[in-house]
Chain A
């Protein structure tokens, strides 16, 4: 079988294994784009992995004044969890603690999902009876009096059960510097794809994990097959030249969106070619036992 290469970078014939998630989108607006971003960043802080964060979240994109319900600058935020109850809890806590508290912010539904999640309908109780409900164009909003004026929050937002978590690319290179540069480029390219986020710090994971551990109670542990310091081990998947491996994890509202993001990311990684120090692009899977979504790299390339 001929080896698949893009600009000299080997594309390993494997697949990224992803799993179903539930997801939602909210739109945060503020008096300035900077304050909308502060609020969104706070809301999606500590939302890298459902392993121990409760949710995976990230900023999908910034929104211009003409794209938001109140004509102010905004940010679209995506939030994913494994089940609807957890998503509801995370959404309420994060919007309540990070958007309600943020100066001048407002929070609106960003998704018309098959099901809905409570947004303002639970946060309104902060108003202690002084909250007011308003229906505009068939959508209900709550006006909650706060010290900074009023916090406006839409009653509900949509939820999708067709979301996909854990789409991924593993980037293997001859130096940490080369791999980091390629991954940074890829995250930037993926940021233009709608309906997806890369929830880890700057979109990149340096500690890809496997399920389970030799220690009782530890549910995930280092993916030792891709740790360059353990290349001596029989399990190692790395070539002798590998000095660093970084992973990009992608969550999306649909499998198609994850596929598109992986396509954009893969080509952005390979853009510099093998001469920039990237040797392999591969992906993480658990032999098909983790989830039903398999993103085969030979199809992603095309």
Chain B
């Protein structure tokens, strides 16, 4: 069965709420019913059929083609299945998702994977602020799963992160790991100011020594971490070319809060 694909007909007049286009909501609907679903975010009515050319049948494999930064909430609350996006996406990509996979071959807006609790999101290029952060009305940020960002990330990456792993290939903005509760950020291209601000138990892993270090982190020196080897092996199994090695400098913090978080700076 071929993937159910949604090809954007042209740049929409309004932002689109695509949260209804997930397998659990589409299962059992025929083409006409799918095309009649509302995606409007203003008073002006707009349906899937108005905005997209719909093809294919397999609701477990969704394919978005030619989308842009007005296409919001793709894969929000996803509970299984796969979504492939050929284009850019707007805000709240995979927000509050539980299971499944989303792969974006472009850039994403703010709040990628906000408060997600499981599954995988990969964005080939840049993401906006608050990736893995807190979804509107939620208490914690990402609570599980894996986000991989090929390019740069905005500010407040992994804000109030509670569990899960975020890997950033490029540079992260200010306040990366702000108020982290636990979980892991792997920052391959460094971060802006105030990384690890208010970190309670989380781990920030830096490929290189960060340019700005919070004064509330305390140096514990260099040692061997089997955990890094474990992480490297798993990331390689996911197809990521990465070398973490086993040695790292460990700084404990944020001492202004619980102080059981860490920065691991790879040697």
A interface residues (Cβ-Cβ under 8 A, vs B): 29, 68-72, 104, 106, 130, 132-137, 141, 143, 149-150, 152
B interface residues (Cβ-Cβ under 8 A, vs A): 144, 146, 163-165, 182, 184, 201, 203, 223-227, 229-234, 237-238, 260, 262
Q: Separation in Å of the B207 CB from the closest CB of chain A?
A: 18
When distances are taken between beta carbons in the complex, the residues of chain B under 8 Å from A152 are 226-227, 230
When distances are taken between beta carbons in the complex, the residues of chain B under 8 Å from A69 are 230, 233-234
Q: Given the complex of chains A and B, what is the CA–CA distance between A132 and B231 in angstroms?
A: 14
Q: Separation in Å of the A66 CB from the closest CB of chain B?
A: 9
Task: Give the nearest-CB partner of B238 in chain A.
Answer: A137
Which of A69, A70, A72 is most buried by chain B, counting CB atoms within 10 A of its CB?
A: A70
Which of these, A132, A137, A150, contacts B201 with CB under 8 Å? A132
B230–A141 CB distance below 8 A? yes
When distances are taken between beta carbons in the complex, the residues of chain A under 8 Å from B233 are 68-71
Q: Separation in Å of the A70 CB from the closest CB of chain B?
A: 4
Task: Give the nearest-CB partner of A153 in chain B.
Answer: B226
Task: Give the nearest-CB partner of B224 in chain A.
Answer: A149
A133–B182 CB distance below 8 A? yes
Q: Separation in Å of the A39 CB from the closest CB of chain B?
A: 13
B164–A135 CB distance below 8 A? yes
17 contacts between A and B (CB under 8 A): A70-B229, A71-B232, A72-B226, A104-B226, A106-B230, A132-B201, A132-B260, A134-B203, A134-B227, A135-B144, A137-B146, A137-B237, A141-B230, A143-B225, A143-B227, A149-B224, A150-B223
Q: Given the complex of chains A and B, what is the CA–CA distance between A69 and B226 in angstroms?
A: 10
Q: Separation in Å of the B39 CB from the closest CB of chain A?
A: 32
Q: Separation in Å of the B164 CB from the closest CB of chain A?
A: 7
Q: Given the complex of chains A and B, what is the CA–CA distance between A97 and B203 in angstroms?
A: 29
A136–B226 CB distance below 8 A? no
For the complex of A and B, the 4 pairs showing the least CB-CB separation, nearest first, are A70-B229, A70-B230, A152-B226, A71-B233
Q: Given the complex of chains A and B, what is the CA–CA distance between A150 and B262 in angstroms?
A: 14
Q: Separation in Å of the A52 CB from the closest CB of chain B?
A: 35
B225–A136 CB distance below 8 A? no
Q: Given the complex of chains A and B, what is the CA–CA distance between A249 and B230 in angstroms?
A: 36
When distances are taken between beta carbons in the complex, the residues of chain A under 8 Å from B262 are 132
Q: Given the complex of chains A and B, what is the CA–CA distance between A68 and B233 in angstroms?
A: 9
Q: Given the complex of chains A and B, what is the CA–CA distance between A135 and B231 in angstroms?
A: 10
Q: Given the complex of chains A and B, what is the CA–CA distance between A152 and B234 in angstroms?
A: 15
When distances are taken between beta carbons in the complex, the residues of chain B under 8 Å from A106 are 226, 230
Q: Separation in Å of the A15 CB from the closest CB of chain B?
A: 44
Which of A130, A141, A150 is most buried by chain B, counting CB atoms within 10 A of its CB?
A: A150
Do A135 and B163 contact each other (CB < 8 Å), given the known contacts A149-B223, A149-B224, A149-B225?
yes
Q: Given the complex of chains A and B, what is the CA–CA distance between A185 and B41 in angstroms?
A: 75
Task: Give the nearest-CB partner of A151 in chain B.
Answer: B226
B234–A150 CB distance below 8 A? no
Q: Given the complex of chains A and B, what is the CA–CA distance between A70 and B229 in angstroms?
A: 5
Q: Separation in Å of the A229 CB from the closest CB of chain B?
A: 53
When distances are taken between beta carbons in the complex, the residues of chain A under 8 Å from B182 are 133
Q: Given the complex of chains A and B, what is the CA–CA distance between A72 and B182 in angstroms?
A: 26
When distances are taken between beta carbons in the complex, the residues of chain B under 8 Å from A150 are 223-227
Task: Give the nearest-CB partner of A152 in chain B.
Answer: B226
Which of these, B144, B184, B203, B226, contacts A70 with CB under 8 Å? B226
Which of A106, A130, A136 is most buried by chain B, counting CB atoms within 10 A of its CB?
A: A136
Q: Separation in Å of the A27 CB from the closest CB of chain B?
A: 12
When distances are taken between beta carbons in the complex, the residues of chain B under 8 Å from A71 are 229, 232-233
Q: Separation in Å of the B170 CB from the closest CB of chain A?
A: 22
Q: Separation in Å of the B9 CB from the closest CB of chain A?
A: 39
